[in-house]
Amino acid sequence: MDSQENTQALHTKSKKNPHLTRTLTILLAVGSAISVANIYYCQPLLVLMGKTFHETSTQMGYVATLTQLGYAGGLLLLTPLGDIWPKRMLIVILSIFTAIALSAVATAQTPAWLEIASFCVGVITIVPQIIIPLAVDLADEETRGEVVGIVMGGLLLGVLGARTVSGAIGQLLGWRSVYVMAAVLMVGLAITMLFTLPHLVAKNKISYGELLISLVKLLRDQPLLRQSSLIGGSMFGAFSVLWTVLAFRLAQGPYHYGSAVVGLFGLVGVAGALIAPVAGRIADKRGPSFMIGIGISITFISYVIMLFGDGVLLLLILGVLLLDFGVQASQISNQARIYSLVPTARSRINSVYMVAYFIGGSLGSFLATLTFGLWQWMGACMTAFAFVCLAGITHLYTIRARS
């Protein structure tokens, strides 16, 4: 991972890599949306799952937590393979195995079965984190932020659209049907990617053990990666707080909403996906640090509105919208700056960052489940504030250290 290796990789990229067309960029965004949705289908369905298995909100909250923990594990152990295996082959294989894991969730007969299968879904569903480095590999240096923004915009649409789709289908056909649909989509994605993606030969010739050891070296040698990872994990922790407890809060007074209405809140956040390409372009021009600060500030404001506006539907909707804007802006900018660190290790850099990201998310889900059970909505919001404050302090330290 020395400078000569980096220069050679960039030279090879400019000469041999297929051109990243707008159509291919959109396909990568759609693939990210379809695959990442598997992590979030469960959130509007937790109440329905609880009724099926006669379990409490706290017990069902573990389903969301284990899914995100599994995702963090998959990011750590499987995502780095994108640096030593052809990414197209990896995407196709993982999509097929994801379909199998989703089928296991759909047929779960006990809470333990459901939790284990959900964990497996998380481990295998890392396709978006192979797609993103592939898009970066194909993009020009000058448009990297915009390309990441478009692909991440698709990813966010998948995150938010998953809740809308699963809430509606779960209300009409039952929660199991959601996972049957998801399994079919992943099979379709595997076939599409097999015949559409360009074939790029992996440039790194190292063993799997060396690959994992290099993750530690990257974390040790790249302070910006450490700081960005802490910011990203904290922001996603704040994001996960809301979406873990929202279904339970909306089931209470004065709302008394079912899973279909809870899922519709995903549509509110779809507007947040629109900021992805814009945030990428601003990061290209003004620098990522600027947009990260904006994103943290907006996220803090969103929870102020949702805490003090509790019980007022319009204020809750506004808070959800601002939350998605803030988290998305900081995420795009964080990723745009870390991908330029070591071009030959983008999958590993992405792995380190996203492991931290989803550890933060799983911690947010876990703490939200506990604090909501103890202190209801106020407890959850205070948990989110703690995550946002950690992100803000880290960001200020990063600015000071780099200056």
Cα(128)–Cα(368) distance, rounded to whole angstroms?
26
Cα(32)–Cα(180) distance, rounded to whole angstroms?
19
DSSP code for 391:
H
Q: Across residues 209-220, what is the average pLDDT?
A: 89
Q: Quick one: 19-205+219-402 is in which CATH superfamily?
A: MFS general substrate transporter like domains (1.20.1250.20)
Tokens of 204: 């790194």
Residue 1 scores a pLDDT above 50: no
Contact 279, 332 (CB under 8 A): yes
> CA angle, 245 as apex, 241 and 250 as ends, to 5°?
135
| More confident call, 211 vs 122 | 122
Q: Across residues 95-123, what is the average pLDDT?
A: 95
Residue 172 scores a pLDDT above 50: yes
Residue 9 scores a pLDDT above 50: no
The pLDDT of residue 138 is: 80
Least confident of 181-195, 270-284, 364-378: 270-284
pTM recorded for the entire structure: 0.74
Question: Is the peptide bond prior to 254 cis by the omega test (within 30 degrees of 0)?
Answer: yes
What's the alpha-carbon Rg for the chain, to the nearest Å? 20
Backbone phi, psi, residue 147, to 5°: -65, -45
Q: Across residues 17-26, what is the average pLDDT?
A: 74
Cα(223)–Cα(228) distance, rounded to whole angstroms?
9
The pLDDT of residue 43 is: 82
Q: Where are the domains of the chain?
A: 19-205+219-402
Q: Across residues 256-269, what is the average pLDDT?
A: 76
Most confident of 21-30, 148-157, 262-271, 338-347: 21-30
Tokens of 132: 């993103």
Among candidate residues 193, 122, 132, the one with its CA nearest the CA of residue 351: 132
Backbone phi, psi, residue 342, to 5°: -140, 95
Tokens of 220: 């040790």
Residue 3 scores a pLDDT above 70: no
DSSP code for 260:
H
Q: Across residues 295-307, what is the average pLDDT?
A: 96
Q: Across residues 339-345, what is the average pLDDT?
A: 81
H or E element: which one contains 376?
Answer: helix 346-402
Cα(254)–Cα(263) distance, rounded to whole angstroms?
18
Q: Across residues 367-372, what is the average pLDDT?
A: 92
* Mean pLDDT estimate for the chain: 85
pLDDT digits (tens, 9 = 90+) for 32-78: 999 999 998 998 888 889 889 988 766 787 888 899 889 888 988 99
The pLDDT of residue 22 is: 81
pLDDT digits (tens, 9 = 90+) for 221-235: 999 999 999 999 999
Cα(76)–Cα(145) distance, rounded to whole angstroms?
24
Among candidate residues 288, 303, 318, the one with its CA nearest the CA of residue 238: 303
Among candidate residues 165, 98, 157, the one with its CA nearest the CA of residue 127: 98
Least confident of 136-145, 192-201, 276-285: 276-285
C-alpha dihedral over 283, 287, 288, 294, to 10 degrees?
-90
